Amino acid sequence: MKNYKDFVVLEFELRSDLITSDDLKDIKPPDPVKNKFSSKGVVLSGRGPIWLYGYLIYFYHPTKFVAVYGPRLNSAVVVEIHTKEIKV
């Protein structure tokens, strides 16, 4: 986890090329409330199936925004926002 003023970057790497939805019970992403970054945005970065990203986007719903890093864009795309402070 990389912490910046307005957001955190959460990078992940899967231990196996084969991951199933059954593996979600073993995934322990950093909690935004317990780790005190719910007042910031979250940028997700890593290779994974779309349903894993869906799970993580839902998990980080309490944050100001959720974005997904796109390496081909070399930028993050905001996919969920909960503040008027940030214009998309």
pLDDT of 51 reads: 92
At residue 86, does pLDDT exceed 80? Answer: no
Q: What's the average model confidence in pLDDT over 58-71?
A: 96
Q: What's the average model confidence in pLDDT over 57-68?
A: 97
- Predicted TM-score (pTM) of the model is 0.90
Give the lowest-confidence range in 14-18, 21-25, 63-67: 14-18
Domain ranges of the chain: 2-11+30-81
pLDDT of 19 reads: 86
Task: Determine the length of the chain.
Answer: 88
pLDDT of 10 reads: 98
